[in-house]
Amino acid sequence: MLSVGLVGVTGHLVEVEADLSAGLPAVVMSGLPDTALTEARDRVRAAVVNSGEQWPNRRVTVNLLPATLPKHGSAFDMGIAAALLGAAGELPLAALDGVVLLGELGLDGSVRPVRGVLPMVAAALRAGVRRAVVPLANAAEAAVVPGVTVKAVETLHRLVAFVRSGGQLLDPPSGTAPPEPPMPDLADVAGQALGRRALEVAAAGGHHVAMFGPPGAGKTMLAERLPSVLPPLDDDAALEVSALHSVAGLLPVGGRLLRRAPFQAPHHSATLAALVGGGSGLARPGAVSLAHRGVLFLDEAPEFASRALEALRQPLESGRVVLSRTGGTTEYPARVQLVIAANPCPCAKPQGSASCECTPIARRRYLGRLSGPLLDRIDVQIELMPVTAADLFVVNRGGEPSALVGERVAKARAAAAARWLTERWRVNAEVPGPRLRQPPWRLPLRDTVSLRRRLDSGSLSARGFDRVLRLSWSIADLDGRDRPVFDDVEEALALRTGGGRRFDG
């Protein structure tokens, strides 16, 4: 019998074989099973008996190949039951040749859903297997993988009847998925022209953003509206993102691929494991992986545990998380846009106002919780000013809606994708710095004179230098230019260093 094992989001085809021999009745599992899989012997026995089948009164050995691959979870139950009944001579297994069986068995013989069915079926397809039998509750999810014929069962008895006498398997549900809720619109933001421009540039190039300002300035509103201006995920990205949510058990009911850029906003009390991934055995994805190809928003960033924040430094550079645990090493993709928001001081009152009693040392200590190495990896760093009464009560704010901004972002991303097509980079933020500093992409000295001066004076790191270059390319893409000019580099430098307090459009 064929099944699939998952290591992270990577699936591996697993062959399930069973052997009956003389000796004391027992069930022996081999092939590096975990605790949940070792306990399958009791689940499978009860399910087989309660489905009206005879349990062989012999020594049963179940082996999962390849034996060197760690096996986790309960998705092998249905494959184990079929292999065991076939070894006992109760089932002719020819009908299941080239079919992947996935599903957990209940003690009453029911077939229950499991996590990660989507990447499992996708892995089976890559291995050349084009037929799968899955739990009925997972059928719609499995059916979104193109090129695979998916059938469903709700009980072990139905599978046995199909193999033995040609009974009917179930088709995936054909009901339409519920519509996605509307996203917040950028037109709701009052004022903050600088914040809107920074958000648009960040969306165009996939850049990280840090926003500092007093409460009510619109930091959270801007961050929550960033996904609304990002283009829909293409087929490959949608399958990748949906697979991650499937492994985490968070894929919405209805069997559709996630087409929107995901948005994750963990609370500031989130643990290290919740943020980057963790758990017993093989670690499960954390918020940074669930936000893959989307936005990870850390509101009140200085309130997060320093260990959790520092753990983000490596994923922000590499776009992946590697977690080593006793059960093995797991790798998850984590190509995110990080957005952090912070107040200027502990009392969260506008700096310099009469009501703020925080000393300069207290303010430095508070923002010092955001380490220099972490901030150095954030491309856009801006300070938002308080919203004025004129911004709140003006009849026509003039703020563009997300749809209009999203059109410009989509055009800019298309231009960047065409430029880097041969390199397989999606957005400017993924382009290595050395590539932009070499011909034919190196900018003239006259356009980078301020940038070079900042680097030589030590006020900008080499990493920051490269990130300003990437920002300037995103600004040029937004404005329809083939290459950045002096003004683009200057604006990128201002967005990086927070030099421009206000942006007049």
pLDDT tens by residue, the chain, 505 residues: 999 999 888 999 999 999 999 988 899 999 999 888 889 999 999 999 999 999 999 999 999 999 989 898 899 999 999 999 999 999 998 889 999 999 999 999 999 999 999 999 999 999 999 999 999 999 999 999 999 999 999 999 999 999 998 889 999 987 666 777 889 999 888 888 899 999 999 999 999 999 998 888 899 999 999 999 999 999 999 999 999 999 998 888 777 789 999 999 999 999 999 999 987 666 789 999 999 999 999 999 999 999 999 999 999 999 999 888 766 788 899 999 999 999 988 877 665 556 677 888 888 888 889 999 999 999 999 999 888 777 777 656 557 899 999 999 999 999 999 999 988 898 999 999 999 999 999 999 999 999 999 999 998 999 999 999 999 999 999 999 999 999 999 999 999 987 543 333 3
Q: Give the pLDDT of residue 253.
A: 75
Q: Is residue 423 part of a domain?
A: no
For residue 325, what pLDDT is reported?
A: 74
Distance between CA 367 and CA 361 in Å, rounded? 10
- Which amino acid makes up residue 362? A
Rounded Cα distance, 319 and 299, in Å: 21
499 within some domain: no
Residues with Cβ within 8 Å of residue 428, at least 6 apart in sequence:
204, 205, 206, 207, 416, 470, 471, 473, 474, 477
* Among 478, 341, 423, 384, residue whose Cα is nearest residue 492: 478
Pairing of strands 320-325, 111-112: unpaired
d(CA 314, CA 296): 15
Would residue 156 count as lying in a domain? Answer: yes
For residue 231, the 8-state DSSP code is P
CATH number of the domain that residue 152 is part of: 3.30.230.10
pLDDT of 210 reads 96
Which is nearest to 32 in space by CA: 48, 11, 8, 14?
14
pLDDT at 501: 35
| Residue 151 forms part of a structural domain | yes
CA distances for 266 relative to 181, 291, 313, angstroms: 20, 11, 17
Q: Biggest alpha carbon distance in the chain? A: 88
- Is 67 among the domain residues? yes
Rounded to 5°, angle at Cα 357 from 356 and 362: 105
In whole angstroms, give the CA distance from residue 10 to residue 208: 27
What phi and psi values does residue 104 have, to the nearest 5 degrees? -95, 140
- Per-residue DSSP letter, 335: -
In a domain, 8, yes or no: yes
Q: How many domains does the chain have?
A: 1
What tokens appear for 189 in the block? 């933001």
Domain range holding 34?
Answer: 2-165
Contact 96, 1 (CB under 8 A): yes
In contact, 430 and 319? CB cutoff 8 Å = yes
Per-residue pLDDT, 504? 39
Amino acid letter for position 92: P
113 contact partners, CB below 8 Å, separation of at least 6: 103, 104, 135, 137, 138
Those residues whose C-beta lies under 8 Å from the C-beta of residue 37, and which sit 6 or more positions away, are 29, 64, 71, 72, 73, 74, 76
Whole-model pTM: value is 0.89
Q: What is the pLDDT of residue 350?
A: 60
Name residue 368's amino acid: G
Is position 185 within any domain?
no
Decide if 106 is inside a domain: yes
Q: Buried b / exposed e across 86-111, counting CB within 10 Å, b at 16+?
A: bbbebbeeeebeebbbbbbbbeebbb
